[in-house]
Structure 1
Amino acid sequence: MTAASEPATIPPTPTRQERDSMGAVAVPASALWGAQTQRALHHFNIGREKMPLEMIKAYAVVKRAAATANGASGRLAPEKRQLVEQVCDELLAGQHEAMFPLPVWMTGSGTQYNMNVNEVIANRASQLTGQPLGSKRPLHPNDDVNMAQSTNDTFPAAIHVAVATALSARLLPALRALQSAMAAKASAWGDVVKVGRTHLQDAVPITLGQEWHGYTGMLEDQAKRLEQALAGLMALPLGGTALGTGASTQEGFDRRICAEVARLTGLAFHAAPNKFALMGAHDALVACSAALRGLAASLFKIASDVRLLACGPRAGLGELALPANEPGSSIMPGKVNPTQAEAMTMLCLQVMGNDAAIAMGGAGGMLDMNAYKPLMAHGLLQSLRLLADGMGSFRRFLVEGVEPNRARIKQALEHSLIMVTALAPVIGYDKAAQVAHHALENNQSPRQAVLELGFMDEAAFERVADPRLMLRPNVPGTVPE
């Protein structure tokens, strides 16, 4: 092999030595994380799922609030408090995200992630004050940044903050926007009378507007359940430290830190009166996931209905004309598929799967701490992102552009055998059933069948079999003589 063909050598990454309670560790020279994060990268090289980015800002809120609370009590020196707050503000602004490389699949408490945050804040403070990285000057990651805290109370609190923020700022607005768009369609289609369907068979008439009004009601109910779940996230275990007892904190620290979290987020967070319940179990997170699953179930049903009503356009029901967003086939020219409905149903199944894992993780807590925290954070925040993004896409690229195929709807209604339901109070159930069977066997409409059988004249049929009379409570007519 000639020199020209030899592969270029990659120079080794410069490192620095950091120490923790177990000894020295080589850390990339430019990294803001420290020894404990580096150990975790070595021991938990599992999967490709990183801890959600939302947890960075949530933890920044918690660490900033702790520094403020400790500074207010005089426990943390003013200059140290100011440094923690300054670095946390940088994290809240989206800086240093690459300094949080840890995977989801780590210790069940999230200890390494808490230390990742502590180390980044301490090392960034060293940078700001001209001290060497890893010197733990002027901030010590444990003694200062983690003062009056434990992973056991801060990690679940950070999940609450991240989930509640995403729920209030992203998911609920997306849900309300979708509901509003569907309500507009329901109002616009109030005059479109169509065949209803039960068991996938023809049923009494309904308007397309009434059908979509049902969808908006489903979304309204789910919004109420999500608001209840949001309220359940407001209690925080902060100040409980390792087990809920408050060891290593000052009296009132829990109230001070939670009040600061509330101020920073604009949400009504408060200190949990029973911290043992929130640290030994994470039932509020399980309940939130269940509410997300409920929304996913509603959205799955709605998207499936839309996909079915739009099937065709000529060999299916063809009642709805969906927006033609992109070509649907690489081999069949002109084919357009219900892609937004398909994306929605897929993400809903993922949310349901996440809920199953979260419920089992919540149930898996043993004794005084639950060891499934990273799994629950990952699943909840992924579900929130998927639902918020999915509803926005479904609204913009399907709901706002969908239109009824009025001719197809009218044709199906006129030939539906279910119109004999309107005849039953007049000619009796048995004769009405005879009309239906006669029409089916002879490929006739109910009008043709009832006239041929001689059960009614045309004027009586027109008076009784108006489908609009079946859209609301009505008093049936009398048997004609």
Structure 2
Amino acid sequence: MSSLSTRIEHDLLGDRAVPAAAYYGIHTLRAIENFPITGIPVSSYPDLIEALAIVKQAAVKANQSLGLVSDEHAYAITLACEKIRQGQFHAHFVVDVIQGGAGTSTNMNANEVITNIALEHLGHARGSYEILHPNEQVNFSQSTNDVYPTALRIAAYKGIFRLIDAMEILKVAFNKKALEFKDVLKMGRTQLQDAVPMTLGQEFSTYAVMMGEDQERLREAARLMCEVNLGATAIGTGINTHPDYAGRVCQALLEISGIPVTTSPNLIEATQDVGSFVQLSGVLKRVAVKLSKICNDLRLLSSGPRAGFGEINLPAVQAGSSIMPGKVNPVIPEVVNQIAFEVIGNDVTISFAAEAGQLQLNAFEPIIAHSLFKSVAHLTKGCLVLAERCVDGITANHQRLRDIVENSIGIVTALNPYIGYSASTELAQEALLTGKSVYKLVLEKKLLTAAELTEILQPDRLTAPRQMLVADTP
């Protein structure tokens, strides 16, 4: 390898040739070699890279205000952080998302990239660490153990609100369908058996409510992300920091990020406890479970088109089979189901990683971060796809829904107040044995007139509490 294409850097293990064009350095190079695990670099999570830059910028601002870093160095480091926050240099964050060392490789990747950007601004070559050093200035008053979890919280906070926004789009889509289908009568079902009538609008309104409830739970989880341990350094004692550093760096973090962060009241506890990530993961699992249940319903209600329920039609988005002509499958609900399965699995991973923490540090935050960010990102995309590629285009099979109601034995429950429990029971048994509809049997037996039956089976009478028809008649 030509000396022109590399530069020599040194660490405690010795010298290594680093690509001359790289903004990262020797620590990152060793991490690339040590952790060829997923092939997914940390740059795959832009929120994390930007959060790291925010943390580094806040740290240098606090250190500068305390007279611990020169104005020249502080300006160069700040400029480097701002460039990274603008989306530049992300390609140089190359360490694998899953790594040993509690996130040290990610922190050092950030330190090295920021240092080399700053060195160039100061007119020096990359790797001129005698001028500006990744550990001496860029990592001053910091440890991976407070930088990395703080960056995770900032990144998670941003991701949570993107997910909330996506869920809002899906909620609005369900609400529109609830309004569109508000007068469409159908049979409700419990345990896959006929229950009592309801409207298709009521069915879709429940899905909107589910989304709204979980948006609130996500907002609660987001508030937990705002308590940070920046200033804790190695184990929470704040070793190697100025007494005023923790307060100043938190204030700087708030000003730069716009996130209402606060310093944890007990930094030793905060450095070892990842309970807030477990809580967030649990909420994400809750969202996933509900989304999957909704998608199960959509697949069941649209099953057929002739040999299933066939009550609604999902928009056809692609051919469903390479062998069966004309087949169309519910591929959008299916993909959201699979996202849900992944999120549930991620929650198990996060639970094990949190439990495995020992004494003053949890070394497994990289897999917690990877799992959380996947869950948030995939749920966000899943909500958008479900809304735009499926729910918006759902239509109702009105006649099919009406026929099911009229032929269902379940409508005897609605007739019970008018013809009595015994007569209703006999009707149900006869309908089951003969295959005749309850509707027809009522007319044949002259238990009610067609006009009375039509009035009783009005959607507003069947689907909400109301004074009985017999009580309305003098």
Query: Structure 1-normalised TM-score?
Result: 0.93
The match for 1:177 among 155, 169, 172 is 169
Shift of 1:362: 1.3
What is the alpha-carbon distance in structure 2 between the residues aligned to residue 447 and residue 177 of structure 1? 40
Q: Distance in 1 between matches of 2:369 and 2:463?
A: 47
CA distance in 2, matches of 1:467, 1:396: 29
Structure 2 counterpart of 1:147, one-letter code: F
Q: Once the two structures are superposed, what CA deviation does each residue of 1:337-356 show, in whole Å capped at 9, x if it has no partner?
A: 21111111111111111111
Identity, % of aligned positions: 38
Contact 2:47 2:158 in 1 (8 A): no
| Match status 1:401 vs 2:393 | yes
Alignment-mate amino acid for residue 183 of structure 1:
N
Counterpart secondary structure, 1:203: strand
| Match of residue 304 from structure 1 | 296
1:421 partnered with 2:441: no
Which residue in 2 is equivalent to 1:440?
Answer: 432
SS of the aligned residue for 1:205 comes to strand
Structure 2 residue ranges without an equivalent (≥5): none
Q: 1:464: how far off?
A: 4.3
Corresponding residue of 1:87: 80
The answer to whether 1:288 aligns with 2:280 is yes
Quote the residue 1:6 is aligned against.
Answer: none
Cα root mean square deviation, aligned: 2.0
Per-residue Cα deviation, 1:358-380 (whole angstroms, up to 9, x for no partner): 11111211111001110011011
Kindly state the Cα deviation for residue 15 of structure 1 after the two structures are TM-superposed. Answer: 2.4
Cα deviation for residue 129 of structure 1 reads: 2.5
Match of residue 129 from structure 2 = 136
Q: Which runs of 5+ in 1 are unaligned?
A: 1-9
- Is the CA contact (8 Å cut-off) linking 1:108 and 1:370 kept in structure 2? no
Distance in 1, matches of 2:414 and 2:178, equals: 25
Separation in structure 1 between the aligned mates of residue 391 and residue 432 of structure 2, nearest angstrom: 36
Aligned position for 2:53: 60
How far has the Cα of 1:304 moved from its partner? Answer: 1.2
Structure-1 residue corresponding to 2:24: 33
Cα deviations by residue, 1:381-413 (Å, 9 ceiling, x for unpaired): 111110111111111111111111112111111
> 1:451: Cα distance to partner?
4.4
- 1:202 maps to which of 183, 194, 197: 194
Look up the equivalent residue of 1:402 and give its one-letter code. I
User: Which residue pairs with 1:153 in the alignment?
Assistant: 146
Q: Distance in 2 between the 1:464 and 1:325 partners?
A: 40
TM-score for the superposition, normalised by structure 2: 0.94
Question: Distance between the aligned counterparts of 1:348 and 1:460, measured in 2?
Answer: 47
The residue that corresponds to 1:217 in the other structure is 209
Q: Determine if contact 2:321/2:327 at 8 Å carries over to the other structure.
A: yes
Amino acid at match of 1:341: P
Residues 98 and 370 of structure 2 are in contact (CA less than 8 Å); yes or no, is this contact kept in structure 1?
no
- How far did residue 465 of structure 1 move? 4.8
CA displacement 1:231-274 (0-9 Å, x = unmatched): 11101100010011111111221122122222222211121112
- 1:247-396 to structure 2, matched below 5 A, reads 247-396=239-388
Q: Structure 1: how far apart are the matches of 2:60 and 2:266?
A: 23
1:77 equivalent in structure 2: 70
Moved more, 259-268 or 338-347: 259-268
Deviation digits for residues 109-153 of structure 1 (CA, Å, limit 9, x no counterpart): 111111111111112222223323222143210010000000001
Secondary structure of 1:27's match?
A: strand
**Structure 1 stretch displaced more, 51-60 or 75-84:** 51-60
In structure 1, what is the Cα distance between the partners aligned to 2:145 and 2:77?
A: 21
Q: Take 1:271 and 1:208, find their aligned partners in 2: how far apart are those partners?
A: 49
Provide the aligned length of Structure 1 versus Structure 2: 470
Partner residue of 1:42 out of 24, 33, 38: 33
Residue 46 of structure 2 aligns with an amino acid whose one-letter code is L
Q: Decide whether the 8 Å contact of 1:108 with 1:373 is kept in 2.
A: no
Which deviates more from structure 2 when the two are superposed, residues 465-474 or residues 280-289? 465-474
- Alignment match of 1:98 (pick from 83, 88, 91): 91
How far did 1:450 drift? 3.4
Q: Give the secondary-structure state (helix, strand or coil) at the position aligned to 1:278.
A: helix
